[in-house]
Amino acid sequence: MKIQTIKCLHDNYSYIIIDENNLNACVVDPSEAKPIIDFVENNNINLKYILNTHHHFDHVGGNKDLKKIYNSTVIGFKGDKDRIPEIDILVDDLNIWKKENFEAKIYHIPGHTTGHIAFHFFREKIIFTGDTLFSLGCGRIFEGTYEQMFNSLKKIKSLPKDTKIYCGHEYTLQNSNFCLAYDSSNLQLKNKISKIKEKLGNGLPSVPTTLDDEIQCNIFLKAKDVKTFSKLRDLKDNF
């Protein structure tokens, strides 16, 4: 499987997962159709599936047009069946979604929204975390509770350490400033920040990151309990 990162809107990332044997593909969180269409046409891939982590417009904005053009099947959380446009297949926590050579385990990870899910391609050790876990940060809590978000991050934390994390936005640099402010003696964090700056300076995305890096450097994953986590989340909201 090959993962292609597609920049969308202002700072969103959509991802195209390509099976190089037959050029079948899935897109994760198409914010908008145009950049996805351009890639699909230029590379002659078959866009068979649209995977949505949550219902926010910057993650589902391309569903309708892409489905219309490519007749793609839309997969999303069953609890969000009325707010994910064009949804076809409803998935639930711990389901295995399997089609052709694609196989992912679904994790329900509420907090940012009540219906947020992650797609874990466990064979490839890749997870798409949408707006729940970012590199060096986590999503704002819009619909869920601090406790839900804390537990959702804990689920991701329990995956193999070499899991690659693909998140929904390029927020890494802003996030790094917050981590640094409250964890200023963390050398691994400082190293990661210089690598991030180098990538961004070369016009490259800072993601994917790895779970190992995030456990060492992401202050939200270092929070020992809900109380500490909630305090950090509030501080970040006003940072």
Q: Where along the sequence are the contacts to Zn ion (CB under 5 A)?
A: 56, 131
Kindly determine how many residues on this chain lie close enough to bind Fe ion according to the rule CB under 5 A.
3
Q: What's the min distance (Å) between Cβ of 131 and Zn ion?
A: 4
Q: What's the min distance (Å) between Cβ of 71 and Zn ion?
A: 27
Q: Binding mask 79-118 vs Fe ion (x if CB under 5 A, - otherwise)?
A: ----------------------------------------
Angle at 212 between CA 208 and CA 215, to 5 degrees: 105
Smaller CB distance to Zn ion: residue 112 or 120?
A: 112
Tell me the CA distances in angstroms from 109 to 115, 116, 133, 148, 154, one per residue in order: 7, 5, 10, 8, 10
Smaller CB distance to Fe ion: residue 32 or 131?
A: 131
Binding part of the chain for Fe ion, among 18-26, 51-59, 106-114, 194-202 by CB under 5 A, reads 51-59
14, two tokens = 């959509």
Question: Please, are residues 44 and 77 in contact by the beta-carbon 8 Å criterion?
Answer: no
What is the C-alpha separation between 32 and 65, in angstroms, rounded? 9
Smaller CB distance to Fe ion: residue 80 or 131?
A: 131
Smaller CB distance to Fe ion: residue 131 or 213?
A: 131
Residues that bind Fe ion (CB under 5 A): 58, 131, 168
